[in-house]
């Protein structure tokens, strides 16, 4: 199936499954290996872990995100810890989330060494990042960062991951001894090129990206993921497909019902079935979500292709609103400069992820022409999209809620 053409649902093929499902359990370090690590807080055993690319560090499959700084974040972080999460993610732009970590480390200094902590900062030139390190350390209340991301590489930064400038910047950052690993996060339509460049450059440790477990096998992004995996770059999924999709009932997917997995748990199992990914970052906003997702990690077994297909069909039938990312073919098909995928993503943040202020901030950061979808052929956009997002329904709501 060509990447540029519209496609039938049946054309989707999960890339990693056929080759790897049988051997995947071996890639996961089971919880009991680290059961003694549950203190402080006398929590549950550490969740199953996977090696994060070339870092040599095993991280928990589940990563507590902090985008939008959920209410009572201090309690949520501690609860995630007690549920066995040891990988935490934040960013300079997530309001005061970094300082919540600082308060946690002040109250329980012993926690810091037992977690893998990632943060992010957006810069306009690679060499600017070095100057941001001390500020991040101060805000986080730590003397080292496990993983520092260049936050949200854009299209005009797509060559950075193979550039001398970024390589030099990363070397200088690591030389300080204050940052162990460096990578980038991305939402950009040039994502496949960015990933291929990272595989060529050889100096990126980890990439965090939106991901759908139902990528076309021959798509540019799927090939780029293969290249990164081969180059031993750690891959972390984020902003998992959501929206209406997660409102499907368990009964709609018999294989989930048999395993007593909720749709959200099934989705995490679908992502973890792809052995290229080490972890999923999820901003769990209440204790029920954390409990549910931690339970999914504890009970993870790779899904069979038939189970993946059943889940995919149910999700698509439910009408997802979250753009799982690709090359932006929806906008091309619609003949618009509006960022249709981003608009749908911000709608999902607002309506389903409960991060309304963050959704509005993201929306306002777009240029006027990137928000202006009027005149776009929305039927063509829907047809072109992997996930058949219903733009004709979603975009008027974007204007009403975020405009
Ligand atoms: S909305 Fe669909 S077509 Fe558009 S960028 Fe996202 S996944 Fe791709």
131-139 contact pairs (CB < 8 A, 24+): 132/92, 133/173, 133/176, 133/178, 133/179, 134/178, 135/92, 136/92, 136/98, 137/178, 139/92, 139/98, 139/99, 139/102
Pocket test for ligand 1, best of 239, 320, 340 (most atoms within 8 A of CB): 340
Q: Is 341 in the pocket of ligand 1 (CB under 6 A)?
A: yes
| H or E stretch covering 359 | helix 356-365
Query: How far is the C-alpha of 196 from the C-alpha of 213, rounded, in Å?
Result: 19
Q: Tell me the CA–centroid distance for residue 355 and ligand 1, in Å.
A: 21
Distance of CA 152 to the CA centre of its chain: 12
Mark the ranges of the chain whose per-residue pLDDT is less than 70.
1-42, 240-246
311 assigned to some structural domain? no
Minimal-distance CA residue to ligand 1 atom 1: 341
Q: What is the CATH number of the domain that holds 160?
A: 3.20.20.100
232 and 346 assigned to the same domain: no
Q: What pLDDT score does 20 carry?
A: 38
Q: Which atom of ligand 1 is nearest to the CA of 344?
A: 1
362 and 284 assigned to the same domain: no
377 assigned to some structural domain? yes
298 and 350 assigned to the same domain: no
172 assigned to some structural domain? yes
Question: What region, left, alpha or beta, does residue 185 occupy, with left being phi > 0 and alpha being psi -120 to 50 degrees?
Answer: beta
Q: Tell me the CA–centroid distance for residue 381 and ligand 1, in Å.
A: 8
Last residue of a domain, one of 304, 321, 355: 304
177 assigned to some structural domain? yes
User: How many domains does the chain divide into?
Assistant: 2
321 assigned to some structural domain? no
Q: Tell me the CA–centroid distance for residue 55 and ligand 1, in Å.
A: 31
Query: How far is the C-alpha of 70 from the C-alpha of 90, rounded, in Å?
Result: 12
323 assigned to some structural domain? no
Q: What pLDDT score does 242 carry?
A: 58
Q: What torsion, rounded to 10 degrees, do the Cα atoms 270, 292, 71, 321 define?
A: 40
- pLDDT tens per residue, range 93-121: 988 899 999 999 999 999 999 999 999 99
Q: Tell me the CA–centroid distance for residue 221 and ligand 1, in Å.
A: 12
Q: What pLDDT score does 28 carry?
A: 56
Q: Which atom of ligand 1 is nearest to the CA of 189?
A: 5
Query: How far is the C-alpha of 9 from the C-alpha of 311, rounded, in Å?
Result: 12
122 and 254 assigned to the same domain: yes
Residue 48 is given by DSSP the state P
Q: What pLDDT score does 43 carry?
A: 82
316 assigned to some structural domain? no
Q: Tell me the CA–centroid distance for residue 382 and ligand 1, in Å.
A: 9
Q: What pLDDT score does 67 carry?
A: 86
283 and 349 assigned to the same domain: no
Minimal-distance CA residue to ligand 1 atom 3: 385
Q: Which atom of ligand 1 is nearest to the CA of 323?
A: 6
Query: How far is the C-alpha of 386 from the C-alpha of 7, rounded, in Å?
Result: 7
Q: Is 323 in the pocket of ligand 1 (CB under 6 A)?
A: yes
| C-alpha separations of 93 from 72, 99, 179, 403 in Å | 18, 12, 19, 21
Q: Is 382 in the pocket of ligand 1 (CB under 6 A)?
A: no
Q: What pLDDT score does 243 carry?
A: 56
Task: Identify the domain containing residue 68 by its residue range.
Answer: 9-304
165 assigned to some structural domain? yes
Q: Tell me the CA–centroid distance for residue 329 and ligand 1, in Å.
A: 6
Last residue of a domain, one of 269, 287, 304: 304
């Amino acid at each position: 199936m060509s990447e540029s053409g519209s496609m039938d649902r049946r054309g989707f093929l999960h890339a990693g499954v056929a080759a790897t499902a049988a051997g995947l359990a071996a890639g996961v370090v089971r919880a009991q290996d680290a059961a003694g690590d549950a203190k402080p807080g006398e929590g549950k055993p550490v969740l199953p872990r996977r090696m994060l690319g070339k870092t040599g560090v095993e991280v928990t499959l589940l990563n507590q995100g902090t985008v939008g700084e959920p209410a009572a974040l201090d309690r949520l972080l501690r609860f995630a810890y007690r549920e066995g999460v040891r990988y935490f993610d934040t960013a300079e732009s997530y309001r005061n989330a970094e300082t919540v970590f600082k308060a946690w480390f002040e109250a329980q200094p012993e926690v810091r060494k037992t977690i893998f902590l990632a943060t992010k900062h957006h810069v306009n030139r690679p060499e600017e990042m070095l100057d941001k390190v001390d500020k991040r350390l101060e805000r986080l209340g730590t003397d080292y960062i496990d993983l520092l991301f260049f936050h949200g590489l854009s299209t005009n930064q797509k060559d950075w991951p193979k550039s001398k400038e970024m390589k030099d910047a990363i070397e200088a950052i690591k030389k300080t001894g204050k940052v162990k690993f460096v990578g980038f996060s991305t939402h950009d339509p040039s994502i496949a090129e960015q990933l291929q460049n990272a595989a060529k450059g050889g100096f990126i440790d980890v990439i965090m990206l939106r991901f759908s477990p139902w990528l076309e096998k021959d798509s540019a992004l799927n090939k780029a993921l293969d290249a990164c995996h081969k180059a031993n770059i750690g891959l972390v999924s984020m902003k998992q497909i959501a929206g209406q999709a997660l409102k499907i009932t368990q009964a709609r997917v018999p294989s989930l019902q048999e395993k007593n997995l909720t749709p959200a748990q099934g989705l995490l199992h679908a992502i973890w079935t792809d052995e290229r990914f080490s972890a999923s970052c999820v901003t769990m906003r209440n204790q029920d979500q954390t409990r549910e997702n931690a339970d999914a990690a504890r009970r993870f077994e790779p899904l069979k292709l038939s189970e993946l297909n059943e889940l995919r069909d149910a999700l698509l039938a439910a009408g997802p609103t979250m753009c799982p990312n690709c090359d932006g073919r929806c906008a091309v098909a619609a003949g618009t400069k509006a960022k249709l995928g981003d608009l749908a993503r911000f709608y999902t943040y607002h309506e389903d992820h409960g991060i309304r202020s963050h959704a509005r901030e993201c929306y306002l950061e777009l240029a006027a022409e990137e928000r202006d979808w009027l005149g776009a052929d929305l039927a063509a956009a829907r047809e072109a999209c992997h996930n058949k997002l219903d733009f004709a329904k979603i975009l008027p709501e974007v204007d009403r809620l975020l405009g």
